[in-house]
Amino acid sequence: MTDEFPARAARQRIIRTEGGLGRIPVTGVSPVLQGGAYPVKAVVHERLLIQAHVFREGHDAVNASVILTAPGGTQRRIDMVQVEPLGLDVWQAHVRMAAEGDWTYRVEGWSDPWGTWTYNATKKLPAAVDVDLVCMEGRDLLERAAAQAETLRAPGAAHLLRGTAESVTPEADVSELLELITSAPIRRAMARFGPRELVSPTPDYPIRVERRRALYSSWYEFFPRSQGATQGDDGQWHSGTFASSHERLEAAAAMGFHIVYLPPIHPIGSAFRKGKNNSLTPSPQDPGSPWAIGSPEGGHDAIHPDLGDFDDFDEFVSKARSLGLEVALDLALQASPDHPWVGEHPEWFTTRLDGTIAYAENPPKKYQDIYPINFDNDPVGIYHEVLRIVRFWIDRGVTIFRVDNPHTKPVEFWDWLLQRVHETNPEIIFLAEAFTKPQMMSALGTVGFQQSYTYFTWRNLKWELTEYLTELSGEMASHYRPNFFVNTPDINPFFLQSGNPAAFAIRAILAATMSPTWGVYSGFELFEHEALAPGKEEYLNSEKYEYRPRDYDAEPNLNVLMGTLNRLREAHPALQQLRDVHFHHAPHDKVIAFSKSDGDDVVLVVCSLDPDNTVESSLNLDFAALGLPGARQVAVFDELNQERYTWGEEAFVRLYPGRPAHVLHVTAE
């Protein structure tokens, strides 16, 4: 039940014990982050589950409502329902918010006199116990509800309630009277206008509602310097540019991607420059790692001259927008030894006892071409310089930042920065590239990162994927939005190192259907898979250290599949949400089956986890989880293969490398 009313309206007497439980106890409210210190994450029109325990002494009925307050102050009441098992006193409501901004919600527990009366009436009237008193109490409650309906300008409901009150008399036929007071129209009217007593509210908890792209998006990563790069007969390389990358924008848009992500586009240092395959002895032709930011030509607010100038960048962003794409820029807070910061602000780095500046290390890996920033030496200066840089690129049309290694910077800093940006530019999205300990990844999401990289890259087995997606779609969804990248310039997954095209197809299908946001680093569609060395999850001839122009139309490729997956995601709201996921039993350990739903849209995915062999398995479908609890059969349309089937609660699938999955739109038969 939903009702709108002004925030200042006093609807019922409010009972609250400051610092403790109210007259009607409400406990275990969720989702709540850090006691309400941080807002719960949601996007426009996302379905958000709110839950609480609501109970009271004795046997009188209780009820509960969610009071949702919009950024402008307008409030909406959504009545909760008690869920099985009833003895646990769990109440739930789903809410959707239609506008961006900072919302709040609270849960109100309240005494339900109508619920108490109807229970007593159904017991006492048939037994002829206290008939006069029972009818008197019922008429009083109905009259009070009618008055409330008039106050809220609902004359039809007021007329219905008053007419019903007149029928509640000792002379009425008991069976007819009980049928009347329990009828659907009366239940609805009393739910909306009936008395609510001893209303006991929780504190107001914050919800930050962001644009839908913060939850649902498809990312495509490429290096502009490789796009259109050429090598002369003398071995001299000529870099690709922003201008030569327009073709890649068109290709990404044609495949249905929403966001193109660029590695750092800034000048690259010369000191300790890395050569091919991370060599310490570069040749004069080696362009260096884009993450070694800074040279005499500038730092984080400059563009590498090989890529073009600011006019070229502006044209690139404009071209992307014309294609419906947004540009995500890498935000790597570190410096090469040649960065202007090193001379102007040496205090921003860590000086070791031997007088040298500490370079980046992740033993046994060493990054001599990169100096990490020490955020504790001059926090005020560093914090405001980073904010300046972020706003500099926002002014040039960048709407998304992929943040490199945020877990190596203080969480307190991100808390400060993300809030400052939100205050002026709430449309900006930050993606945390943090493959690290769970508590740090969770904390980064809590303080405001809209999206986060995940462990998906290393989850290949059925039990791993089931456990991980269950975790992500549960309590974590209130603060952590996953981005399932299938590969990155740093990660060449073991699952893909065979080069088997079916392995690439399986991982793309899983990423695109399991998470509302997924991403691809270019080369994936061409089945690039050669590892630097056995047992290493790094690419041989990594693009991080050299130019890698590609023929993206070379056969075979995954261009069509990736485009199909993005088209299906766009067509099905079920694939654009995170919180509603159900797994269905498939006995074969190399077959995974799960469904996602949003409203009437239900999608069932059945995918092989074996890229080398045919797998056959029965399926046991949970029709209730599919939103069709009374059905005997369901109609399923395979969106990948354009085939229709009729399935019962038991079905059978045969999947093979050339057709490793079904992505099924489910409807009642």
Q: Look at residue 303 in the predicted model and tell me its pLDDT.
A: 98
Below-70 pLDDT ranges, the chain:
1-19
> Maximum distance among all alpha carbons in the chain?
107
- Determine the Cα–Cα distance for residues 623 and 601; give it in Å rounded to an integer: 14
- Determine the Cα–Cα distance for residues 365 and 370; give it in Å rounded to an integer: 12
Look up residue 78 and give its DSSP letter.
E
| Region of residue 14 (left: phi > 0; alpha: psi -120 to 50; beta: else) | beta
User: Burial letters for 605-619: b for 16+ Cβ neighbours within 10 Å, e otherwise?
Assistant: bbbbbbbeeebebeb
Q: Look at residue 235 in the predicted model and tell me its pLDDT.
A: 87
Which secondary structure element, helix H or strand E, spans residue 473, and what is its range?
Answer: helix 462-473
Q: Look at residue 7 in the predicted model and tell me its pLDDT.
A: 41
- Determine the Cα–Cα distance for residues 57 and 642; give it in Å rounded to an integer: 58
- Determine the Cα–Cα distance for residues 384 and 417; give it in Å rounded to an integer: 9
Q: Look at residue 11 in the predicted model and tell me its pLDDT.
A: 42
Which secondary structure element, helix H or strand E, spans residue 229, and what is its range?
Answer: none
- Determine the Cα–Cα distance for residues 10 and 1; give it in Å rounded to an integer: 19
Q: Look at residue 20 in the predicted model and tell me its pLDDT.
A: 74
Whole-structure pTM value? 0.94
Q: Are 500 and 464 in contact (CB under 8 A)?
A: no
H helices, E strands: number in the chain: 14, 33
Report how far apart the first and last C-alpha atoms of the chain are (Å, whole number).
Answer: 30
Q: Look at residue 369 in the predicted model and tell me its pLDDT.
A: 93
CB burial of residue 559 (10 Å; 0-12, 13-18, 19+): middle
**Residues labelled catalytic:** 404, 433
Q: Look at residue 545 in the predicted model and tell me its pLDDT.
A: 97
| Reduced 3-state DSSP string for 497-535 | CCCCHHHHHHHHHHHHHHCCEEEEECCHHHCCCCECCCC
Q: Look at residue 9 in the predicted model and tell me its pLDDT.
A: 39
Strands 517-521 and 217-221: parallel
Q: Look at residue 21 in the predicted model and tell me its pLDDT.
A: 86
Alpha helices in 271-368 (DSSP H): 310-322, 340-344
Q: Look at residue 1 in the predicted model and tell me its pLDDT.
A: 52
